[in-house]
Amino acid sequence: MKNALNRRNFIKAAALTGASLGINPISKASPTILPQAPKSKIRLGFIGVGLRGQSHISLSLNRNDCEVAAICDIDQGMLDRTLQLIAKKGGRKPTIYGLEERAYLQMLEDKNIDAVIISTPWRWHSEMAIKAMEARKYVGLEVSGGFSLDECWQLVNTHEATGTHLFFLENVCYRRDIMAVLNMVRENLFGEIVHTECGYQHDLRHVKFNDGKQPYGGGVEFGQKGYSESRWRTQHSIHRDGDIYPTHGAGPISQMLNINRGNRMLYLTSMSSNARGLHDYIVHHEKGGPNHPNAKIKFKLGDVVTTTIKTANGEKIIVSHDTNLPRPYSLGFRVQGTKGLWMAVNKSIYIEGKSPSHRWEDAKPYLEKYDHPLWKRYEQRAVGAGHGGMDFFLLHAFIEHVKQNIAPPFDVYDAATWLSITPLSEQSIALGSQPMTFPDFTRGRWIDRKNTFASGNNF
Amino acid sequence: MKNALNRRNFIKAAALTGASLGINPISKASPTILPQAPKSKIRLGFIGVGLRGQSHISLSLNRNDCEVAAICDIDQGMLDRTLQLIAKKGGRKPTIYGLEERAYLQMLEDKNIDAVIISTPWRWHSEMAIKAMEARKYVGLEVSGGFSLDECWQLVNTHEATGTHLFFLENVCYRRDIMAVLNMVRENLFGEIVHTECGYQHDLRHVKFNDGKQPYGGGVEFGQKGYSESRWRTQHSIHRDGDIYPTHGAGPISQMLNINRGNRMLYLTSMSSNARGLHDYIVHHEKGGPNHPNAKIKFKLGDVVTTTIKTANGEKIIVSHDTNLPRPYSLGFRVQGTKGLWMAVNKSIYIEGKSPSHRWEDAKPYLEKYDHPLWKRYEQRAVGAGHGGMDFFLLHAFIEHVKQNIAPPFDVYDAATWLSITPLSEQSIALGSQPMTFPDFTRGRWIDRKNTFASGNNF
């Protein structure tokens, strides 16, 4: 099926060769694909080589079908760490760009780079992805929440104008239990899905604050005095109230509900709680206290933000954002249909006719039975990769798609949709939980688009 | 403290004696209380003696401080069953009213009846409660969702006009784990509460459908062909879309957040899923099938309805209604504050500084440590009472409040607030999840009212 799709795209793209790219994108029936023979090895450029970028580089260095050709960062320390990592793993020294905010534009001029992976602070994501598509680089874009609907449209329009793909790097789609549950959904174990829950429930206080030397904890500093993510991520909690990081929940659930592929997100409402957690953390930290200058900051981000999304096909998605309070990590998944449901937090499942009446069953045997073929095949290669192995699958899929220059499973339309949850959530909260409607970023093509994610056992 | 309050109320009420009841209720600073010496024994009238009413009667017959003086129902079979129950437990034969819909009005004329317990189909609740207050009976009103805001105001206005109390019979407030968690909240174990979840997640398909002979299951009949609750409850799933049964969640959480007592519900949004479960049940039942007449019915009640409520003090309450699908019972409680959280579904708790870092702990030792004094005192008497013993505490509290004629812990303002969730939820869903504002049924008195629920170890 993949080959068939690929051939069809190739023919369509070939027919369009020479068509004026960049003009009247709205009239196109589907994005153009530049014809290109599959490559056996690709050259990668990394824009942003903080800890997340380094993780991608480390996994790339394990492979013989890609080369870490170029790296870019504004932070000399992170460039140095990355060069050490590459040297340690026996990689060739890459071309280095950086120290200026738009040094990445020079990297994009290098015709020998096939694809870029963008792992920068959120505010740079769209600009960089747009410039990279314009430079005809296959784009891997790290996840975040968006800022405006306009920015989401720009991503879509640039893709349609250039024919260049954007792979939105949502790793949780590849989590082992999530892929098993996706398998169960596709096998109709839950019947028709009616209700889902998900979210990002992760105590990030030690990420948002540190001592300026280590990435996690040890102090209550951030911004110029912080290190790693605290240098930029914490600012969003000061200025914004909304679900500012929705994709780890919305991405996986979108695969199960075929969002943008026979279904779409119609509207949402969002509600926020008081913002107490970050102030409390500063005040009670041994290096903070009520007299620490940061104790004066008024944080806007509600400690728990709840967003309810309605789909065109009538399902609900409840998305939680909960990063300021002490709590165990949980993405809070719940997938519920006419025959039963799975919940992550109690690791349990209930399937009518299979489970003992009215009683939860341990989900484990089900997760093993429906383990996805990809996990069975690549389990050993995934050992040691970030976030329980799922980062291996993510990078693997990205590189395989780049080699063939084919449309990714989470593309620019998905990126636009998932990113848009954030500005819509902010708007809803600002207006007392008014419902906000999603643009149809596919311009009606969601009706015919097919879900191709993890449909085989290659990637 | 109870005595002090009681004395103050008594004095205030005494001063108001002779004031023209029923006139200009809005100008009153607080509801009047009719002066009355505490009684050692009270006479109870039961309006509605279906299975729920019979359960209250059975518990009443265990006590020597109340008498089952009168019963009323339109169903001869239920009257007969009730008389058998009373005879079996050695009770005196009560006066019987019934067979006509408004026969309960005759019961209300009996001056010897001190209080009534109303356990009828939902559509009768407000009318009967209003008539009972007008007849100066202390009212125990079974829970439900409301139909209109006007009805909620009528309850409030009648209480203020008559000075007669209404005890809203929300039994889950007395659940052992809930009272222990309330204790934890009051002891500040969770810090400041910011986010809560709750709901009614109960597979009621075998309640909504039966064979017309037994109350639970065995067929796909309802209405005139059904028995017990299926005779009337199922109709609500055909005609309404909203959280039609919100109080088992909203009631207990209201105690933790001091709703109407220093806090209040400000607004809500509600979102519904597709309605699939009930139709599926009929179609796949061995006594149903695609050709059964009930397979043609279009049910309106979304299988899972999610309501988000914002409070004046900034907390959130997420309320679920989920009664049409196969699933284990769970009210889905989550109570989360600046120091940690409790979740019912995984029976776990996390308290910063006490629990192992970032890991759930079994909630059991906490629930035992914070077990409420009422449960410790009355545990033995509660054995065998409905819903895990909590129904004992509910009836016990009701009778003790009637004996002293004092304001109940969940009063007419709470009833109005919790009932109003349903019409507001229906309106929100009908308008695409528009936010709907709660009336302030207390007319500003919520600012000064105190939470008295379970503040001692008497009731």
Q: What is the DSSP string of B188-234?
A: TTT-SEEEEEEEEE---HHHH-B-SSSSSBSSSB-GGG--GGGGTHH
Contacts of B294 (CB under 8 A, 6+ apart): B209, B220, B221, B222, B282, B288
Q: What is the pLDDT of residue B34?
A: 52
Q: What is the pLDDT of residue B12?
A: 42
Q: What is the pLDDT of residue B456?
A: 82
Q: What is the pLDDT of residue A34?
A: 52
> How many helices and strands, by DSSP H and E, does chain A display?
15, 15
Can you say whether the dihedral through the CA atoms of A274, A278, A279, A280 is positive or negative?
Answer: positive
Q: Three-state SS for A269?
A: strand
Contacts of B257 (CB under 8 A, 6+ apart): B193, B196, B263, B311, B313, B315, B317
Alpha carbon separation from A254 to A319, B115, B247 (Å, rounded): 12, 54, 32
Residues of B with CB below 8 A from A192's CB? Answer: 274, 276
B6 and chain A: CB distance < 8 Å anywhere?
no
What is the mean predicted confidence (pLDDT) over B263-274? 98
Q: Please check the confidence at residue B26 and state whether its pLDDT lies above 50.
A: no
Q: Whole-angstrom Cα distance, residue A174 to residue A388?
A: 10
Q: Please check the confidence at residue B373 and state whether its pLDDT lies above 50.
A: yes
Range B79-90 burial, b when 16+ CB lie within 10 A, else e: bebbbebbeeee
Tell me the pLDDT tens digit for each residue of B69-83: 999 999 999 999 999
**B-proximal residues of A, 248-267, CB under 8 Å:** 267
Is B191 within 8 Å of A310 when comparing Cβ atoms?
no
- Residue A12 phi, psi dihedral angles, 5° rounding: -60, -45
Provide the 8-state DSSP code for B251.
Answer: H
Instruction: Name the stretches of chain A with pLDDT < 70.
Output: 1-36
CA geometry: angle A172, B318, B442, nearest 5 deg = 160
Of A274, A280, A345, the CB nearest to B346: A345
Task: Please tell me the distance in Å from B89's CA to the nearest CA on chain A.
Answer: 32
Is A304 within 8 Å of B336 when comparing Cβ atoms?
yes
A312 and chain B: CB distance < 8 Å anywhere?
no
Range A11-16 contact pairs with CB under 8 angstroms and sequence separation of 24 or more: A13/A163, A16/A163
Is B433 within 8 Å of A322 when comparing Cβ atoms?
no
Q: What is the pLDDT of residue A35?
A: 56
Is A328 within 8 Å of B360 when comparing Cβ atoms?
yes
Q: Whole-angstrom Cα distance, residue B157 to residue B123?
A: 19
DSSP string, B103-139: THHHHHT-TT--EEEE-S-GGGHHHHHHHHHHTTPEE
Is B203 within 8 Å of A328 when comparing Cβ atoms?
no
Contacts of A104 (CB under 8 A, 6+ apart): A47, A72, A97, A128, A131
**Domain boundaries, given as residue ranges, for chain B:** 174-373+412-447
Is A340 within 8 Å of B327 when comparing Cβ atoms?
yes
Task: Please tell me the distance in Å from A112's CA to the nearest CA on chain B.
Answer: 45
Q: What is the pLDDT of residue A18?
A: 36
Q: What is the pLDDT of residue B36?
A: 67
Residues of B with CB below 8 A from A280's CB? Answer: 191, 338
A308 and chain B: CB distance < 8 Å anywhere?
yes
Pairing of strands A66-73, A95-98: parallel
Q: Which of B190, B333, B338 to mutate to test the interface with A (most CBs of A within 10 A)?
A: B338
Q: Which of A198, A301, A352 to mutate to test the interface with B (most CBs of B within 10 A)?
A: A352
B356 and chain A: CB distance < 8 Å anywhere?
no
Nearest chain A residue (CA) to B326: A340
Sole residue written with tokens 């769209």 = A126
Sole residue written with tokens 């990590």 = A329
Which of left, alpha, beta for A73 (phi over 0: left; psi -120 to 50: alpha)? beta
Nearest chain A residue (CA) to B329: A358
Size of interface A-B (CB pairs under 8 A): 150
B336: β partners:
B195, B341
Is B325 within 8 Å of A310 when comparing Cβ atoms?
no
Q: Give the CA-trace dihedral at B213, B214, B217, B219, to 10 degrees.
A: -10
Is A195 within 8 Å of B352 when comparing Cβ atoms?
no
Is B269 within 8 Å of A339 when comparing Cβ atoms?
no
Q: Whole-angstrom Cα distance, residue A359 to residue A349?
A: 9
Of B340, B346, B435, the CB nearest to A434: B435
Tell me the pLDDT tens digit for each residue of A55-77: 999 999 999 999 999 999 999 99
Q: Whole-angstrom Cα distance, residue B160 to residue B167?
A: 14
Other Cβ atoms closer than 10 A to B457: 12
Residues of B with CB below 8 A from A301's CB? Answer: none
Q: Whole-angstrom Cα distance, residue A295 to residue A297?
A: 6
Of A191, A269, A276, the CB nearest to B338: A276
Is A338 within 8 Å of B303 when comparing Cβ atoms?
yes
Of A194, A277, A304, the CB nearest to B304: A194
Q: What is the pLDDT of residue A342?
A: 98
A328 and chain B: CB distance < 8 Å anywhere?
yes
Q: Which of A253, A300, A304 to mutate to test the interface with B (most CBs of B within 10 A)?
A: A304
> How many helices and strands, by DSSP H and E, does chain B display?
15, 15
Q: What is the pLDDT of residue A146?
A: 98
Is B338 within 8 Å of A277 when comparing Cβ atoms?
yes
Sole residue written with tokens 């620019």 = A412
Q: What is the pLDDT of residue A387?
A: 84
**A-proximal residues of B, 122-161, CB under 8 Å:** none
Is B274 within 8 Å of A192 when comparing Cβ atoms?
yes
Q: Whole-angstrom Cα distance, residue A418 to residue A247?
A: 6
What is the mean predicted confidence (pLDDT) over B110-115? 97
Q: What band does B35 get if pLDDT is binned at 50, 70 and 90?
A: low
B361 and chain A: CB distance < 8 Å anywhere?
no
Q: What is the pLDDT of residue B29?
A: 42
**A-proximal residues of B, 164-223, CB under 8 Å:** 191-192, 194-195, 203
Of B194, B304, B329, the CB nearest to A304: B194
Q: Whole-angstrom Cα distance, residue B266 to residue B417?
A: 10
Q: What is the pLDDT of residue B458?
A: 86
Please name the fold of domain A174-373+412-447.
Dihydrodipicolinate Reductase; domain 2 (3.30.360)
DSSP string, B21-67: TTS-GGG-SS------PPPSSEEEEEE--SHHHHHHHHHHHT-SSEE
Q: Which of B265, B284, B316 to mutate to test the interface with A (most CBs of A within 10 A)?
A: B316
Which of left, alpha, beta for A93 (phi over 0: left; psi -120 to 50: alpha)? beta
Residues of A with CB below 8 A from B201's CB? Answer: none
Q: Which of A194, A282, A427 to mutate to test the interface with B (most CBs of B within 10 A)?
A: A194
Is A343 within 8 Å of B345 when comparing Cβ atoms?
yes
Q: Which two tokens stand for residue A341?
A: 């449901």
Of A269, A277, A336, the CB nearest to B271: A269
- Cβ contact B195:A303 at 8 Å: yes
- Has the ipTM of the complex gone over 0.85? yes
- Residue type for A405, please? N
Nearest chain B residue (CA) to A359: B328
Alpha carbon separation from B172 to B46, B143, B378, B381 (Å, rounded): 21, 11, 16, 17
Q: What band does B388 get if pLDDT is binned at 50, 70 and 90?
A: confident
Q: What proportion of chain B, given as a percentage, has pLDDT over 90? A: 89
Q: Three-state SS for A196?
A: strand
- Residue type for A438, please? F
Q: Whole-angstrom Cα distance, residue A319 to residue A336?
A: 14
Residues of A with CB below 8 A from B267's CB? Answer: 432-433
Of A306, A359, A432, the CB nearest to B328: A359
Q: What is the pLDDT of residue B352?
A: 98
Nearest chain B residue (CA) to A206: B358
Is B269 within 8 Å of A433 when comparing Cβ atoms?
yes
Task: Please tell me the distance in Å from A20's CA to the nearest CA on chain B.
Answer: 42
Q: Which of A193, A253, A346 to mutate to test the interface with B (most CBs of B within 10 A)?
A: A346
Is B352 within 8 Å of A326 when comparing Cβ atoms?
yes
